[in-house]
Amino acid sequence: MANESEVVPDFYDIDSILSRTTRVACTYRDGTPRDIYDMLGTTAPHFTDEKGYKVLTPFWFVRALAPFCTVSSQQTLV
């Protein structure tokens, strides 16, 4: 029993694994706080034009960033 350890129930769940590793292309609008770019591990742009600024974003983080970004479903990357 010394070699046994407890893991969270969804540790081997494929949906859970994919949601943690999948990144999607998000277009961020002007006015996005600079701290968000830091959390995403990228440099904040000096200027964002009307097309926005595209950054690969972890799938699990997209819902929280919805006020600042638009997801392009055709550019989903793993």
Enter the tokens of residue 18: 């994919």
Q: Is residue 6 situated within a structural domain? A: no
Query: Is the Cβ–Cβ distance between 54 and 27 less than 8 Å?
Result: yes
Q: Would you write out the chain's pLDDT as a tens digit for each of its 78 residues?
A: 556 677 777 777 777 777 778 889 999 999 999 999 999 999 999 988 888 999 999 988 999 999 999 997 654 444
Domain count, the chain: 1
Residue 2 belongs to a domain? no
Residue 9 within a domain:
no
pLDDT at 38: 93
Q: Which residue range forms the structural domain that includes residue 26?
A: 14-75
Residue 8 falls inside a structural domain: no
pLDDT at residue 78, rounded to an integer: 43
pLDDT for residue 48: 86
Task: Identify the pLDDT of residue 4.
Answer: 66
**Residue 1 lies inside a defined structural domain of this protein:** no
What is the pTM for the complete model shown?
0.66
At 37 the pLDDT is 94
> Is position 45 within any domain?
yes
